Amino acid sequence: MLNQEQLTNIDKAKDILMKGGIVACPTETVYGLFASALDDDAVRSIYKIKGRPSRNPLIVHIHDINQARDFCDIDDIQYDTMNKAWNIYNYSVSFVLRMKDNPDVNISKLATSGLETVAVRIPMDPVANAMLKACGIPLVAPSANTSNYLSPTNHDMVVMDLGDKVPLVLDNGSSTRGLESTIIDISSGVYRILRPGVLTYSEIRSNLGINTEEYCATYENIVAPGMMKKHYSPRIPMRINAYDRKPGEALVGFGNSVPDCDFNLSKSGDLHEAARNLYATLKKIEDLGIYISIAISAIPEEGVGIAINDRLRRGSAPSEPADQITIERCKPYV
């Protein structure tokens, strides 16, 4: 149930968005920076606000599968997969589809970086969903953070990072999933998982009937910046698989992996809870200003742990010049 303040803010958001403005809004994965997908200038401001390279395409958000038919080719098998994911299982998944040759609505070429495919997602968060319904047009939304930095999972994280650049930041508490959506490319006969999320491989296989073992394995061309090595980074250095603390480090544990840790992603060793706490914990450590770096203990490489470790590996990767961005080949997703 949405409260009165949320309903009022959704009305305000609609006004801003329909005039080509930008609004930050919660989703169940991470908070997003929303703009009309049909408006080149609005999309351009998204790239500008984030400092994001324009060759990194955005996800187009909708509230109903049939909205995607306006600009994507969708056959019965693809429809069935999307329907299961979004309407039956409420999964946080983005599907990459082929764009229609003669679309009924024109998605900005800036949003898709000129690709012939487009990533589409229905967010499960009720505020995002109501805002999309109110607008009635597809909206692009990258995570609401400065490019390469930590994705925000609550209202205050957005305000601290981009508050001076965005007129309205909607609030629905902490994101219930905490990691960006799983991205699955279903645009050709071979379905490929481009970015792991809170969905496990067994859920993808048994509930969506997608039988791909090759998570990113054959993806040679860069289309997902999540595939770049350095991404999702805190502003202070971070090292992973730590079991002790060096001077000045904040030690982050999981379960009872490191008994004297300063922060724990989940005391009970629950990977879903760890996913929900990950970005806010790293942000809190930065903001305290008393630590020079972060040491994070090993997270089990299973279930949701696969996506957590994917983000941690990228967040702890060394910085590299923008023109030498490394594409890291993902490990098989099992």
Report what 258 binds from Mg ion, ligand TXA, none; CB cut-off 5-8 Å by kind: none
Residue 160 beta carbon to Mg ion: minimum distance, rounded to whole angstroms:
16
Comparing every residue's Cβ against Mg ion, the nearest one is: 143
Angstrom distances, CA of residue 180 to CA of 86, 88, 151, 165, 199: 15, 20, 8, 22, 11
From the list ligand TXA, Mg ion, none, pick the one residue 27 interacts with, judged by a Cβ distance below 5 to 8 Å according to partner type.
Answer: ligand TXA
What's the closest the beta carbon of residue 146 comes to Mg ion, in angstroms? 10
Stretch of 136-144, 195-203, 291-299, 321-329 contacting Mg ion, by CB under 5 A: 136-144
List 67, 143, 257, 316, residue binding Mg ion (CB under 5 A):
143
Both structure tokens of 172: 């629905």
Minimum CB distance to Mg ion, residue 318 (Å): 19
Nearest-approach distance from CB 58 to Mg ion, in angstroms: 10
Q: Is 148 exposed, middle or buried (0-12, 13-18, 19+ CB in 10 A)?
A: buried
CB-side exposure of 172: number of CA atoms within 13 Å? 28
Contact status: 92 vs Mg ion (CB under 5 A): no
237's enclosing H/E stretch is none
| Token reading at 151 | 């994705």
Which residues on adjacent β-strands are paired with residue 223? none
CB of 227 to Mg ion, least distance (A): 12
Say which entry of ligand TXA, Mg ion, none residue 183 contacts (CB below 5 to 8 A, set by partner kind).
ligand TXA
Residue 224 contact partner, candidates ligand TXA, Mg ion, none, CB within 5 to 8 A by sort of partner: ligand TXA
Q: By C-beta, is 180 or 310 nearer to ligand TXA? A: 180
Q: Report d(CA 193, CA 219) in Å as an integer.
A: 10
Of 225 and 253, nearer to Mg ion (C-beta) is: 225
Residue 91, both tokens: 């999964």
DSSP one-letter code for 226: G
Selection from ligand TXA, Mg ion, none that 252 binds (CB < 5 to 8 A by kind) is none
Q: Work out how close the CB of 128 gets to ligand TXA at its nearest, in angstroms, rounded to a whole number.
A: 8
DSSP single-letter state for residue 323: G
Nearer to ligand TXA, 14 or 50 (CB): 50
Residues facing 193 on adjacent strands: 184
* Helix, strand, or coil (residue 198): coil
Q: CB under 5 A: which stretch of 8-16, 142-150, 268-276, 289-297 binds Mg ion?
A: 142-150
C-beta of 27 vs 264, nearer to ligand TXA: 27
Rg (CA), the chain: 19
Are 94 and 119 in contact by the 8 Å Cβ rule? The answer is yes
CB of 257 to ligand TXA, least distance (A): 27
Min separation Cβ 147 and ligand TXA, Å: 9
Q: Pick between residue 56 and residue 146 the one whose CB is nearest to ligand TXA.
A: 56
Half-sphere exposure of 329 (CA within 13 A, CB side): 6
Q: How far apart are CA 198 and CA 326, in angstroms?
A: 24
Residues that bind ligand TXA (CB under 6 A): 27, 29-30, 32, 56-59, 94, 96, 115, 117-119, 121, 123, 141-143, 180-181, 183, 194-195, 223-226
Q: Which residues pair with 294 in a beta bridge?
A: 238, 250
Euclidean distance between the first and the last CA atom of the chain, given in angstroms as a whole number:
37
Where does this chain bind Mg ion (CB under 5 A)? 143
